[in-house]
């Protein structure tokens, strides 16, 4: 469970594979024609811009010595026009690729969010939510530059290099060989720094993830922090995480910064060698125009080399983030529909647990040989000490987790053979921790049944005794709530959550400590409203209040993952066992 701590690095078990970047092709493919168009624009603009040194050579070696003003004017006009065309083309390319990159980013986010919604509870239980959030936002954002500029720029730079080398060879083969003599040194530097670069940026992703996780946790727990006057301690922890982020960032940037100065130094060295060779080494007469033109091509030759170095840096940096994105997308989802799974037809509410075992972690069983049958319309109360496995039973019924052994059947059908969505549409669940989304109260009640009318939403609220306090707000049902119902009492949040579940009209109703935060007066009124709603509906109620469970048709007392007692209220009292001790207050 070390992954569940904000200060624990989430190590990626598999080694970095450069081919992982090729998986981006899935999202790039739909925009191939636009990327090809951008590539063509870049190639045309590069070809046009590369005529400049050649035209300069003509001006110096031919037009100026012969005082051919007409040729000079034509050359100047061509240079001016080509520069204008290049700028227009580059602006169009930037416009196209910015739009394409953002569309790709949206599609990646869509797939990541879709994956998150299909992952089981165990995934979210095993890590801070901040470490999940950073994957969807920050790491996906890091792909933007790579997609909008990097890929097309790479193709353009490779094309530019080929054309430049062609021009240089056409001008002077020997000078070309001298210019490229320093390239092996650059390749050695790039290869030697690759592993260090990737490791440095991977460490940076670890620390940034930890910082985001702690920030998210701190914001969610701010009331607790202030209640215990922990501000200074938490500030110290945050500062320490920030310092670690700073340290690994600086180290990663310093390693990156070895690359581009190397390119700059080597490019200057290449030009110097060309000048020396042109003046002293070749034993031939080299015209000034040739030397100037060649120098122009040399600088243009090293520009794409430098761009390739920057692209390499970006690829290594982004590669560390892409690993995180694909790690999430590749996360094993064991709560999935089996091939050939079928829709659950309208049910009566017959539920059977057939010798079910379950554990969250291997070797630590939570449920052991749970076996029972519930007929339609029965109300089942599940009681027992904390950690006994009560909530796990109802979570298995909703297929939030899969049973390890045994079967769970609804109306005689193994839930493993059913579509998950079709099960949850007919099984209404109110979890122990009620959660409200930002939006109006009406939108929160309608959350699970979007087609419901306002009147139906209000009827559900009235049934759970929420209508009175909702109507007391100035905006009534249109009152806008902040995240998780800020400003409402815990009891009010639970009543709204109750209305949300009841509106979905489930055939099987699960209430997990649904009345734990409701005051005694409201609970009595709530029980009256629920009396009619529970009729004809199979219900599972997890509660500790005697008033909530005493009228259940059957009560299960669960201890250490087993149903140790079962029967109605009077039958269990007569046993004078665990349940009787709990009722009398002896049970701790």
pLDDT at residue 4, as a whole number = 54
pLDDT at residue 513, as a whole number = 76
Average pLDDT over residues 215-232: 78
**Would you call 11 exposed, middle or buried from its count of C-beta atoms within 10 A (0-12, 13-18, 19+)?**
exposed
Instruction: Give yes or no for residue 343 having a pLDDT over 80.
Output: yes
Q: Is 365 helix (H, G, I), strand (E, B) or coil?
A: strand
Q: Is 552 helix (H, G, I), strand (E, B) or coil?
A: coil
Pick from 45, 156, 24, 38: which is nearest to 99 by CA? 38
Instruction: Give yes or no for residue 588 having a pLDDT over 50.
Output: no
**Confidence label for 418 from pLDDT (cuts 50, 70 and 90):** very high
| Whether 195 contacts 311, CB under 8 Å | no
Instruction: Give yes or no for residue 358 having a pLDDT over 70.
Output: yes
Instruction: Give yes or no for residue 351 having a pLDDT over 90.
Output: yes
Write the pLDDT tens digit of every residue in 10-26: 655 445 555 666 778 88
For the ranges 349-353, 535-539, 543-547, the lowest mean pLDDT is seen at: 543-547
For the ranges 160-164, 317-321, 393-397, the lowest mean pLDDT is seen at: 317-321
Pick from 46, 297, 274, 299: which is nearest to 170 by CA? 297
- Rounded distance between C-alpha atoms, residue 568 and residue 547, angstroms: 13
pLDDT at residue 414, as a whole number = 94
Pick from 392, 389, 380, 175: which is nearest to 281 by CA? 175
Show the tokens assigned to 288: 């000034």
Instruction: Return contacts of 280-284, CB within 8 angstroms, 24+ apart.
Output: 281/178, 282/174, 282/175
Instruction: Return contacts of 269-277, CB within 8 angstroms, 24+ apart.
Output: 269/182, 270/178, 270/179, 270/180, 270/181, 270/182, 270/298, 270/301, 270/302, 271/295, 271/298, 271/299, 273/178, 273/179, 273/181, 273/182, 274/175, 274/178, 274/179, 274/298, 277/174, 277/175, 277/178
Average pLDDT score over the chain: 81
- Rounded distance between C-alpha atoms, residue 238 and residue 211, angstroms: 7
Instruction: Give yes or no for residue 491 having a pLDDT over 50.
Output: yes
Instruction: Give yes or no for residue 566 having a pLDDT over 80.
Output: yes
| Positive/negative CA dihedral, 402, 406, 409, 415 | positive
Pick from 271, 349, 263, 344: which is nearest to 306 by CA? 263
Average pLDDT over residues 37-49: 83
pLDDT at residue 280, as a whole number = 60
Most confident of 214-218, 276-280, 380-384: 380-384
pLDDT at residue 269, as a whole number = 80
pLDDT at residue 586, as a whole number = 47
Show the tokens assigned to 301: 């030759």
Query: What are phi and psi for residue 235, nearest 5 degrees?
Result: -65, -40
**Confidence label for 356 from pLDDT (cuts 50, 70 and 90):** very high
pLDDT at residue 516, as a whole number = 64
- Rounded distance between C-alpha atoms, residue 207 and residue 247, angstroms: 10
Kind plus residue range of the DSSP H or E element containing 460? helix 454-463
Average pLDDT over residues 509-518: 74
| Helix axes of 183-220 and 259-276: crossing angle, nearest 10 degrees | 160
**Confidence label for 283 from pLDDT (cuts 50, 70 and 90):** low
Strands 405-410 and 439-440: unpaired
Higher pLDDT: 21 or 381? It is: 381
Instruction: Give yes or no for residue 1 having a pLDDT over 50.
Output: no
What percentage of the chain has pLDDT greater than the value 90? 18
- Rounded distance between C-alpha atoms, residue 39 and residue 48, angstroms: 14
Q: Measured between alpha carbons, how far is residue 96 from residues 46, 105, 149, 155, 387 in Å?
A: 17, 14, 10, 16, 57
- Count of other CB atoms within 10 angstroms of residue 234: 17
pLDDT at residue 2, as a whole number = 41
Cα angle 224-436-420, degrees, rounded to a multiple of 5 = 120
**Confidence label for 522 from pLDDT (cuts 50, 70 and 90):** low
| Whether 434 contacts 428, CB under 8 Å | no
Domains observed in the chain:
2-7+17-329 (1.20.1560.10), 351-584 (3.40.50.300)
pLDDT at residue 353, as a whole number = 95
**Confidence label for 145 from pLDDT (cuts 50, 70 and 90):** low
- The region, left, alpha or beta by phi > 0 then psi within -120 to 50, assigned to residue 511 is beta
**Confidence label for 138 from pLDDT (cuts 50, 70 and 90):** confident
What percentage of the chain has pLDDT greater than the value 70? 87
Average pLDDT over residues 410-426: 91
Average pLDDT over residues 108-116: 87
Instruction: Give yes or no for residue 112 having a pLDDT over 50.
Output: yes
Higher pLDDT: 5 or 55? It is: 55
Write the pLDDT tens digit of every residue in 193-207: 767 777 787 788 778
For the ranges 31-35, 433-437, 493-497, the lowest mean pLDDT is seen at: 433-437
- What letter would DSSP give residue 511? E
């Amino acid at each position: 469970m070390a992954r569940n701590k904000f200060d624990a690095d989430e190590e990626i078990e598999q080694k970095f594979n450069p081919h992982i970047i090729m998986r981006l092709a899935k999202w790039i493919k739909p925009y191939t024609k636009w990327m090809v168009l951008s590539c063509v624009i870049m190639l045309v603009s590069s070809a046009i811009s590369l005529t400049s040194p050649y035209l300069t050579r003509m001006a110096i070696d031919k037009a100026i010595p012969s005082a051919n003003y007409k040729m000079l004017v034509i050359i100047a006009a061509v240079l001016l026009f080509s520069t204008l065309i290049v700028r227009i083309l580059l602006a169009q390319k930037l416009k196209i690729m910015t739009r394409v990159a953002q569309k790709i980013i949206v599609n990646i986010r869509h797939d990541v969010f879709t994956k998150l919604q299909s992952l089981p509870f165990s995934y979210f239980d095993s890590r801070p939510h901040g470490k999940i959030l950073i994957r969807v936002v920050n790491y996906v954002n890091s792909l933007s530059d790579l997609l909008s500029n990097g890929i097309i720029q790479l193709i353009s730079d490779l094309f530019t290099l080929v054309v430049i080398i062609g021009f240089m060879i056409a001008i002077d083969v020997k000078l070309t060989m001298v210019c490229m003599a320093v390239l092996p040194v650059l390749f050695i530097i790039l290869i030697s720094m690759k592993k260090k670069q990737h490791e440095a940026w991977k460490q940076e992703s670890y620390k940034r993830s930890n910082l985001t996780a702690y920030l998210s946790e701190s914001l969610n727990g701010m009331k607790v922090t202030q209640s215990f006057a922990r501000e200074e301690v938490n500030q110290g922890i945050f500062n320490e995480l920030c310092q670690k982020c700073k340290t690994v960032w600086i180290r990663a940037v310093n390693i990156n910064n070895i690359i581009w100065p190397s390119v700059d130094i080597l490019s200057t060295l290449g030009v110097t060698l060309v000048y020396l060779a042109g003046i002293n080494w070749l034993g031939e007469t080299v015209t000034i125009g040739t030397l100037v033109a060649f120098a122009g091509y040399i600088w243009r030759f090293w520009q794409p080399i430098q761009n390739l170095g920057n692209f390499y840096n970006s690829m290594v940096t982004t590669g560390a983030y892409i690993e995180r994105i694909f790690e999430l997308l590749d996360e094993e989802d064991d709560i999935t529909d089996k091939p050939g799974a079928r829709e659950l037809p309208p049910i009566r509410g017959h539920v059977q647990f057939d010798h079910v075992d379950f554990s969250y972690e291997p070797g630590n069983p939570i449920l052991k040989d749970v076996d029972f049958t519930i007929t339609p319309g029965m109300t089942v109360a599940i009681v027992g000490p904390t950690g006994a496995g009560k909530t796990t039973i109802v979570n298995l019924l909703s297929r939030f987790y899969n049973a390890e052994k045994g079967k769970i059947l609804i109306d005689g059908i193994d839930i493993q053979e059913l579509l998950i969505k079709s099960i949850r549409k007919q099984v209404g669940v109110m979890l122990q921790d009620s959660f409200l989304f930002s939006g109006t109260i009406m939108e929160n009640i309608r959350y699970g049944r979007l087609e419901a009318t306002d009147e139906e939403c209000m009827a559900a609220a009235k049934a759970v005794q929420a209508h009175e306090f909702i109507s007391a707000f100035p905006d009534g049902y249109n009152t806008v709530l902040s995240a998780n119902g800020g400003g409402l009492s815990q009891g009010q949040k639970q009543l709204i959550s109750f209305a949300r579940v009841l509106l979905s009209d489930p055939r099987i109703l699960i209430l997990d400590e649904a009345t734990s935060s409701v005051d005694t007066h409201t609970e009595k009124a709530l029980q009256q409203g629920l009396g009619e709603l529970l009729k004809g509906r199979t219900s599972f109620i997890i509660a500790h209040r005697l008033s909530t469970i005493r009228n259940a048709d059957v009560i299960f007392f669960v201890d250490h993952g087993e149903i140790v007692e079962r029967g109605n209220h009077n039958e269990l009292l007569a046993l004078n066992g665990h349940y009787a001790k709990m009722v009398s207050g002896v049970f701790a």
